[in-house]
Amino acid sequence: MIPILGLIVGILIGVFIPNNYMIPMQYSNYVAVAILAALDSVFGGIAASLQGKFDMKVFLSGFFGNALLAAGLAYIGDQLGIQIYLAAIFAFGNRLFLNFAIIRRILLNKYSKKDNI
């Protein structure tokens, strides 16, 4: 439940806070990869919560660790002239869709069992 509330609060802050802050273009790849990694952690937290396996320590370490690791790899790749951030985008994007599929299956099973009773 906590990841869902955090996601909702983040969306509301993003929608209702004025856009006075712009991220410089040279940091856009780092921020995009870090956001994707954080979203992967949020969806993973939601899936774990629905399965009854949610652990706040695991969630927070994954949230910040994945975001920092992804941004760091993107930075190192830029320094080497290699687009490593594309691998992070693929990995986290793939996990995001897998976590969404888990969430979808759990919710469909939950609601279809209620209809059968």
The answer to whether the beta carbons of residues 96 and 47 sit under 8 Å apart is no
What share of the chain has pLDDT > 90, as a percent? 25
* Number of domains present in the structure of the chain: 1
CA nearest neighbour of 99 among 57, 55, 50, 65? 50
What share of the chain has pLDDT > 70, as a percent? 92
Q: What is the mean pLDDT of the chain?
A: 85
Q: Which of 15 and 65 is assigned the larger pLDDT? A: 65
Alpha carbons 31 and 17: distance in angstroms, whole number: 18
The mean pLDDT value for 47-70 works out to 90
Contacts of 111 (CB under 8 A, 6+ apart): none
Q: Does residue 104 surpass a pLDDT of 90?
A: yes
| Residue-number span of the structural domain to which 83 is assigned | 2-116
What's at 97, amino acid-wise? F
CA nearest neighbour of 62 among 77, 42, 89, 48? 42
The answer to whether the beta carbons of residues 74 and 22 sit under 8 Å apart is no
